[in-house]
Amino acid sequence: MPPLTKAEVIVRREGSVGRISLDRPKALHALTQSMCEAISAALLAWRGDPAIEAVLLDHAAGRGFCAGGDVAAVRRSALEDGGAAGRAFFHAEYRMNHLLFAYPKPVAAFMDGVTMGGGVGLALPCRWRVATENTLFAMPEGAIGLFPDVGAGWYLPRLAKQTGGRIGQFLALTGARLDGAECLWAGLATHYLPSDTLAEAKARIAAEPAHAEAILSELSAEPPPARLAGNADRIARLFASDRLEEVIAALAADPSDWAAKELKAVTAKCPASAKVALRQFASPQPDFAAEMAREYRLAARLIMRPDFAEGVRAVLIDKDNAPRWNPASPEDVTEAMVEAIFAPLPEGEEWVPFPA
Ligand code: QUE
């Protein structure tokens, strides 16, 4: 009898590499809990296996690397079971993120298409992060009342200083979409390859994983100019404040068309989410596990706020893109509200990583 549900992740060995391919094409490979668990199980099985030297992470059929997570299911959980299933999803996803971060063997991620939210969490811990002409990268959670999770609070504040140090805040507050060239410029990607060379890159790495670095360099192409680089100074200046009201005021005071467009993007997002993101990025955690434990608190709290159900409704269910946030304006999101979202969870409910 065939299985009732498809696995949605293809796991196999090829020579001395482990291969993991996301296979949920109808949802642009957005992650479900069982996909996270299958990925973690494969990584755990290979972690101490001397026959596996490296891991390749990509998507199987269709477009998109990974569009995020199954937030429609998380929304149903928030409305129907007190958020228990939603928390279980984030617990499994963040364990997978942490496992990749601490993984003792090199992993290559092929960001050949939409790479948002959960897809960013898969790619950023990897030693090699390959962008292509199809890469479309974003942390869009502010549009659904969430926050930049999956380790974004670790990676984004640490991006190269060449970017002016505020690219993370810019990405979080605007949900801006970066192309492959911009990902390379910002340090989000390590290589830029034409997508028609990816099959060759994977086959050659599988044959000679010790030469992965040289193979990726050899197949790399000159990316087009990174448009974002032209706005780096503006981003550093206008996103300099950790106070949302000040960022909005700075954008409003700038005469450029660019600032006007980004002002619209910032003010369309969930105000509570934006304040959570700014506070998160202003206080980087000492280690990655601590960051994931903090993010789990934030996720557990934010999925139960009405803004999350409303944001998913507006973006993914009704698709009217007209969320009604509550509070609707930044001034009404108080310090005490943000503080409460960061508070520790009750004993026994905190996130814990896989044992080392
Ligand atoms: C903001 C988000 C997400 C989003 C759109 C936003 C997000 C997410 C998805 C998504 C997209 C396609 C799917 C799916 C989920 O879209 O987190 O299951 O098929 O996962 O504006 O944060």
Residue range 110-120, pLDDT digits in tens: 999 999 999 99
If one counts the domains in the chain, the total is 1
Residue 201 domain-assigned (yes or no): yes
148 in contact with ligand 1, CB cutoff 6 A: no
Instruction: State the pLDDT at residue 159.
Output: 85
Residue 348 domain-assigned (yes or no): no
Give the closest residue to 68 by CA, choosing from 137, 135, 117, 138.
117
Residue 44 domain-assigned (yes or no): yes
Q: Which domain holds residue 89?
A: 4-342
Q: What percent of the chain has pLDDT over 90?
A: 95
Q: Among residues 141, 179, 291, 310, which one is catalytic?
A: 141
Is residue 68 predicted with pLDDT exceeding 70?
yes
pLDDT digits (tens, 9 = 90+) for 270-308: 999 999 999 999 998 999 999 999 999 999 999 999 999
Residue 176 domain-assigned (yes or no): yes
Average pLDDT over residues 239-265: 98
28 in contact with ligand 1, CB cutoff 6 A: yes
Residue 41 domain-assigned (yes or no): yes
Q: Among residues 18, 64, 68, 69, which one is catalytic?
A: 69
- What CATH code is carried by the domain that includes residue 321? 3.90.226.10
Pairing of strands 54-59, 107-111: parallel
Pairing of strands 17-22, 9-14: antiparallel
The larger pLDDT score, comparing residue 2 to residue 160, is at 160
Instruction: State the pLDDT at residue 137.
Output: 98
pTM above threshold 0.95 = yes
pLDDT digits (tens, 9 = 90+) for 75-94: 999 999 999 999 999 999 99
Residue nearest to ligand 1 atom 8, measured at CA: 68
Q: In the annotation, is 80 catalytic? A: no
Residue 126 domain-assigned (yes or no): yes
Taking the CA atoms of 111, 116, 122 and 126 in sequence, report the sign of the dihedral they define: positive
Residue 88 domain-assigned (yes or no): yes
Angle at 47 between CA 44 and CA 52, to 5 degrees: 125
Is residue 1 predicted with pLDDT exceeding 60?
no
Instruction: State the pLDDT at residue 163.
Output: 74
Question: Which of 136, 316, 320, 321 to probe ligand 1 with, by most ligand atoms within 8 A of CB?
Answer: 316
Residue 349 domain-assigned (yes or no): no
